[in-house]
Amino acid sequence: ETDHFTYDPGFTSTGSCESGLTFIDGDKGILLHRGYRIEDLAANCSFLEVAHLLLNGELPNKEQKAKFDHDVTYHTMVHEQLSNFYRGFRRDAHPMAVLCGVVGALSAFYHDSTDINDPHARMVASFRLIAKMPTLAAMAYKYSIGQPFNYPKNDLTYAENFLHMMFSVPAEEYKMDPVLAKAMDRLFILHADHEQNASTSTVRLAGSSGANPFACIAAGIASLWGPAHGGANEAVLTMLNQIGHKDNINEFIKKAKDKDDPFRLMGFGHRVYKNYDPRAKVMQESCHEVLEVLGVEDPLLELAMELEKIALSDEYFVDRKLFPNVDFYSGIVLKAMGFPTSMFTVLFAVARTTGWVAQWKESIEDPQAKIGRPRQLYTGPTERPFVPLDKR
Ligand code: SDX
């Protein structure tokens, strides 16, 4: 505690805003969006119903759902000139690097929805971001593998459309499996929002200066990319591949516990959950379902389950209440569906855009909102006399 402010590195005990979107009880492992359990939403809703809930406060009735689906779907295409922007990137660029660039560039294409003081412009920007993210993400993938971009198809659902844009080629349409489309949709729901995590706080902080929504979401994407946050889903798969075999698990557990070793078990631990992440449970079930439908036996799933079992019976992880988080099983689902590892965090970004946008809108509409401006503990030299260049 200083005279004027509290020192709180990592903001472990700082509430930065009021929000009516998402509630987490970390000790009980409960996650609610506007009062509804994540498990219920994942089992019974479409992703766009959850997006409606987050943005507008209530689950839509049939008419509201049809209107909301239409309002989002209307914006799925991106400005044709934006495709030139992709062509400036190296083909081997990480798709998250590409996404940071193209989403930031949206404000250069959609001038008519950048006025944050106009409620209609805020709504249009929100629809545009939610609608265009799958298109932009799929374009990043297509560019990386040298295939032509696919235009969206608005008679498909949000998840189906994404699968189509990712995997259809002019010579052959992607064969849509309803179970896989549902799994994709569920994965989007599970990642939609999670209160004041690093990327959402970044979006709010960027927005607090009055920056336009496209720029704010680009800031969120950059923050999400790190392996301690959304980049963990990619890191989990890399880690499982490195472990390679059940016999090597103990060696990696030992490394994760060693304070002199930077290695940590990816997909384990959470700032807020000190009990099982409820999303990880749904994701694990989804994982079994997807592998069964595809008839895939992925030894990485066996390995992940064994790793979880061993870690959860180890004193170190038990004492620190380190459980699998949402990212632990998602990579195995995505891999089975044909997504390359480098796209995993991109998928997280597609889903989280809804939460970012809803939180950005809430913050702009908050009468108490102020520019975010943390203080610091200064650790540099005290005041000293200036030394001219020839005396240094
Ligand atoms: C997401 O915040 C959100 O809501 C994020 C998210 C969302 O939906 O937005 O849920 C998505 O980001 C999930 C988290 C994905 N990240 C990972 O899976 C990476 C591995 N996990 C960690 O690096 C870590 O657990 C964090 C970043 C998730 C949480 O970090 P904290 O809250 O700062 O906790 P900490 O690092 O201070 O850890 C407390 C103790 C430490 O040990 P001690 O110093 O007390 O002895 O637990 C240890 C840590 O070393 N620890 C781990 C560990 N995670 C924490 N030890 C081994 N392996 C781990 N994974």
pLDDT tens digits for 112-159? 989 999 999 999 999 999 999 999 999 999 999 999 999 999 999 999
For residue 124, how many C-alpha atoms fall within 13 Å in the half-sphere facing its CB?
A: 14
Q: Does the pLDDT at position 232 exceed 60?
A: yes
Q: Band of the pLDDT at 1, cuts 50, 70, 90?
A: low
Kindly report whether the global pTM for this prediction surpasses the value 0.90.
Answer: yes
Q: What is the pLDDT of residue 318?
A: 96
- 235 touches 298 (CB < 8 A): no
Give mean pLDDT, residues 159-169: 98
Q: What is the DSSP letter of 324?
A: B
Q: What is the mean pLDDT of the chain?
A: 96
Q: Is the CB of 223 under 6 A from ligand 1?
A: no
Q: At what angle do helices 178-190 and 158-167 cross, to 10 degrees?
A: 110
Q: For residue 269, how far is its CA from the centre of ligand 1 (angstroms)? A: 4
Binned at pLDDT 50, 70 and 90, residue 2 comes out as low
| 388 pLDDT higher than 90 | yes
Q: Are 360 and 204 in contact (CB under 8 A)?
A: yes
Question: Dihedrals φ, ψ of 381, to 5°?
Answer: -65, 155
Question: 325 in ligand 1 pocket by Cβ < 6 Å?
Answer: yes
Residue in 33, 54, 264 to alter for ligand 1 test, most ligand atoms within 8 A of Cβ = 264
Examine the predicted complex and report whether its ipTM is higher than 0.95: yes
Residue pair 214/136 in contact (Cβ under 8 Å)? The answer is no
Please state, as a whole number, how many other Cβ atoms lie within 10 Å of the Cβ of residue 130: 27
**266 CB less than 6 Å from ligand 1?**
yes
CA distance 210 to 370: 10
- Among protein residues, the one with the nearest Cα to ligand 1's atom 33 is 271
Is residue 203 within 8 A of residue 360, CB to CB? The reply is yes
pLDDT in tens, 181-191: 999 999 999 99
Q: What are the catalytic residues?
A: 270, 327
If DSSP codes are grouped into helix, strand and coil, which group holds residue 13?
A: coil
pLDDT band at 296 (very low <50, low <70, confident <90, very high): confident
90 CA → ligand 1 middle, Å:
33
Task: Decide: 280 in ligand 1 pocket, CB within 6 A.
Answer: no
* b/e map 296-319, b = 16+ CB within 10 Å: eebebbebbbebbeebeebeebee
Distance in angstroms (rounded) separating the CA atoms of residues 42 and 51: 12
Q: Whose CA is nearest to atom 35 of ligand 1?
A: 271
Whether the predicted pLDDT of 199 surpasses 80: yes
| Token output for 234 | 């990619």
Rounded to an integer, the average pLDDT of 158-179 is 96
Q: What is the pLDDT of residue 262?
A: 94
Give per-residue pLDDT as tens, 37-61. 999 999 999 999 999 999 999 999 9
Residue 303: which pLDDT band, with cuts at 50, 70 and 90?
very high
